Amino acid sequence: MTNFSQLATSRRNPGTGGLPLHRRALRWWADQPGFTDLQRAMTLGGLGPALLMGCAVAGSAHGVLVIPAHGSAAATAPAKVSRFDAPAPQALSETVERLVRNFGGKAGVSVVGVDDGWMVSANGNTRMPQQSVSKLWVTMTVLDAVDQGHIGLDDPLTITEADFTVFHQPIAALVKKDVGYRSTVREIIRRAMTMSDNTCNDKLLRLVGGPQAVRSFIQRKQLGAIRFGPGERLLQAGTAGLEWKPEYSRGNAFALARSQLSPNVRLAAFESYVADPVDGAAPSAIAVALARLQKGELLSPSSTAWLMSVMQSSHTGRQRLRGAVPPGWQFGHKTGTGQDLRGRTAGYNDVGLLVAPDGRTYSVAVMIGDTRRPIPERQGLMQAVVTALVANHR
């Protein structure tokens, strides 16, 4: 059984340990496969991203460098990619299929028996909007950089008003106008994962090089049908039918601008997103990725244990999957919730790892891509999946 109390250490590469955080992040990004010698030299000189991408490289007094993503994804395969194709429990498979079939709207469920190597799925290969589930991949990309010695969990990181995004960003209340909020990479990850803080997540995203860095991680680790979107600001603006403006990050400015759009514009943007979500992911791919995380195939043992511990301390979605977890079981997860329009929600999700008292582990992904069903019924679907899984285990 995984020791969830084990903490990751902030290791250093001897060749980069003396550099400030933003320079180490730059070196790590330039070292990724796919860079030419010229691109690597220009990047380490601070010029590459600006010249190659046609935009500025923005440094920060707080040790964060916003690095526009390069165009090549890393292609290095992990040492091991587990398969989960053993015969699945028939009763559990039938129950999951029935639950999804009888639920109104677009929904998908996947469950993996991590130790026994099977997977149960119903509509599990359809890409659904992830919304904040995608914070998992940002955090894993950061921890991958920690494992390589390019970033430390205890490195300083400062949140300023310029970092504000939209919707849920509780850290904004801690930011002082002149000095911001001084923190660490460790705390910002915790806030992104356990509070689903959008500003913290986008700060981490910029730290590791932007969306393309996360996409590179997903490809390099062979995570399959998982897309990563453009970041919180552009994702939410696009779903609403808006062009992002910095002033939308303050107060209710985003909601006000959204309310002034014509109904047809809003509906067209919503429908476009739900039909082909830019952050879409298949429940089966997420369930397998979580299983491989637990098996130690994605991160170092220390980073794996620390991330799973963080996921267990999440404060969100208490009546989703967690609502049916029995006493004595451990559960770590990440929720995701999209925008509402006319009684529909563009993404209502919960994904996580469920550990039985005997140590056997299951990964679960329940994703509702579009539905008019009320929230208690959505939560009921999620809890019914957990109840069926626990019954199968016994």
Residue 106's pLDDT is 94
* CB count in 10 Å sphere of residue 90: 10
Specify the 3-state DSSP secondary structure of 168.
coil
Residues 292 and 299: their CA atoms lie apart, in Å, by 9
Determine contact, residues 360/328, Cβ cutoff 8 Å: no
DSSP string, 92-156: HHHHHHHHHHHSSSEEEEEEEETTTTEEEEESTTS-EE-GGGGHHHHHHHHHHHHHTTSS-TTSE
Residue 31's pLDDT is 55
pTM for the structure as a whole: 0.82
DSSP string, 307-372: HHHHHHT--S-TTTGGGGPPTT-EEEEEEEE--EETTEES-EEEEEEEE-TTS-EEEEEEEEEEB-
90-132+273-393 fold: Beta-lactamase (3.40.710)
In single-letter form, the type of residue at position 60 comes to S
Residue 394's pLDDT is 80
Enter the tokens of residue 372.
């008019």
10-residue mean pLDDT series, the chain (394 residues): 37 44 50 47 39 32 38 48 95 97 95 97 97 98 97 97 95 92 98 97 97 97 97 96 95 95 97 97 98 97 98 94 97 97 95 97 97 95 98 91
Residue 24's pLDDT is 52
Residue 104's pLDDT is 87
Give the start-to-end residue ranges of the domains of the chain: 90-132+273-393
